[in-house]
Amino acid sequence: MITRIWTDPEIIGRIYLQICRLQFQNFTSENEKNEIFKYLFALMHKLHAIKYHLENYQRIEKKEHKVALKKFRKNPNSTVEAFDLIFEFEGFLFQVKSSLDMLVKLLDPILGKGFVRTKTFAKKGKSIIKGLEQLKNKKQIIAERVDNFIELIKSDKDNWLEKVIDYRDELNHSQGLSNFKFMPKKLKNGQIVPAEPIFKGIQVVPFLQAVYRANIEFSQDFFCYALFLRMPEFILLGKDSEENSRNYFNNSPGSQFARYSWFPKKNNHREDKLQHSQQGRL
């Protein structure tokens, strides 16, 4: 049924296969399991929507580039408005913010209702961080694991989240994207070609690709770190090899992305800082 609803192997691997590999149902009640699945499936829906807008933007940009090229050959002083690209850009940023909100909703069934009171990715993650700091006062919580989780959110907030949320809010709450056009550009050989629309001096397609990559990796890290908080002291969270991950799921599509696994804690082993996927983000 999963492959009928969602088709992207990486999204299936990083979210659905990953939660299955962690066998979370062995550590949660039936109600908690159902709630976690509900929000994870909604998250997968959002991730597919983000990819949909990214691919649409790329497709439309190529199409409009050809249209602009023909127009500039006839009239090199003209411009071409990119309204369809505006719609896809706005939709992309909206779905990214929506996927972050869905991640936060996972915290209630994982950690317990009320421990992190915010229901959205409010204040660019500051509300979650505040709630997690208070969680360290809970008796059975291992503080080092909370600190790892907080560090994950802080590093991604500084690296890309804050910028993307600012852009989304700017487009949503102001007059929106304007002066988004294909402009004629003269090459050294005298040829006139279209220059693609840019946003705040940024080339849009590479930016959207980088944000998509950062968001899907952060989503996986986020719910794995959250689940780790409720695990017993003698179990550690770590990343396995791609080969072992593929073997675990009999080489199912996307299985190479489900690398987080539980490992037994060795005697006198200090809780290590988790190494998440920050290196490949914005």
Q: For residue 36, what is the DSSP state? A: H
Q: For residue 239, what is the DSSP state? A: E
Give the three-state DSSP class for 83: helix
Distant-in-sequence, close-in-space partners of 222: CB < 8 Å, separation ≥ 6: 103, 106, 152, 153
Calpha distance 279→282 (Å, rounded):
8
Distant-in-sequence, close-in-space partners of 97: CB < 8 Å, separation ≥ 6: 121, 164, 165, 168
Domain boundaries along the sequence of the chain: 2-280
Cβ atoms of 192 and 73 within 8 Å: the answer is: yes
The single residue listed with the structure tokens 């609803």 is: 5
pLDDT tens, N- to C-terminus, the chain (282 residues): 444 456 899 999 999 999 999 998 888 899 999 999 999 999 999 999 999 999 999 999 999 999 999 999 999 889 988 999 999 999 999 999 999 999 999 999 998 877 676 677 878 888 889 889 988 888 888 999 999 999 999 999 999 999 999 999 888 765 667 789 999 998 999 899 999 999 999 999 999 999 999 999 999 999 999 999 999 999 999 999 999 999 999 999 999 999 999 999 876 555 556 666 555 567
Burial (CB < 10 A; 0-12, 13-18, 19+), residue 250, is exposed
Global pTM? 0.91
**Integer CA distances (angstroms), 211 to 50, 93, 97, 108, in order:** 10, 9, 11, 26
Q: What's the angle, vertex CA 14, arms to CA 163 and CA 111, rounded to 5? A: 80
Calpha distance 204→199 (Å, rounded):
7
